[in-house]
Amino acid sequence: MRTFSKFVEGQEIRLWVDDLRDPKESDAKRKGASGNEVWVKTSDEANRILATGNVISISLDGDLGIDENGSDLSGTEVSKFIQKLAFNNQIPRLQWAIHTDNGGKFKSMTMDLTRADDFWDRHEQE
Which one has a higher pLDDT value, 66 or 83? Answer: 83
pLDDT at 3 over 60: no
pLDDT score, position 8: 53
CA 48 – CA 86 distance, rounded (Å): 15
The model's pLDDT over 70-81, given as tens digits with 9 standing for 90+, comes to: 888 899 999 999
**Terminal CA-to-CA distance of the chain, rounded, Å?**
39
DSSP H or E segment with residue 40:
strand 38-40
Residue 22 DSSP symbol? -
Q: How confident is the model at residue 6 (pLDDT cuts 50, 70, 90)?
A: low
CA 52 – CA 113 distance, rounded (Å): 18
The model's pLDDT over 19-63, given as tens digits with 9 standing for 90+, comes to: 999 999 999 999 999 999 999 999 999 999 999 999 999 999 999
The model's pLDDT over 83-125, given as tens digits with 9 standing for 90+, comes to: 999 999 999 999 999 999 999 999 999 999 999 999 999 999 9
pLDDT score, position 2: 42
CA 76 – CA 73 distance, rounded (Å): 9
Query: What number of other Cβ atoms are within 10 A of residue 104's Cβ?
Result: 10
Q: Are 40 and 54 in contact (CB under 8 A)?
A: no
CA 53 – CA 12 distance, rounded (Å): 9
Q: Are 16 and 33 in contact (CB under 8 A)?
A: yes
pLDDT score, position 1: 38
Q: What is the pTM of this model?
A: 0.90
- Which domains does the chain carry? 11-125 (3.40.50)
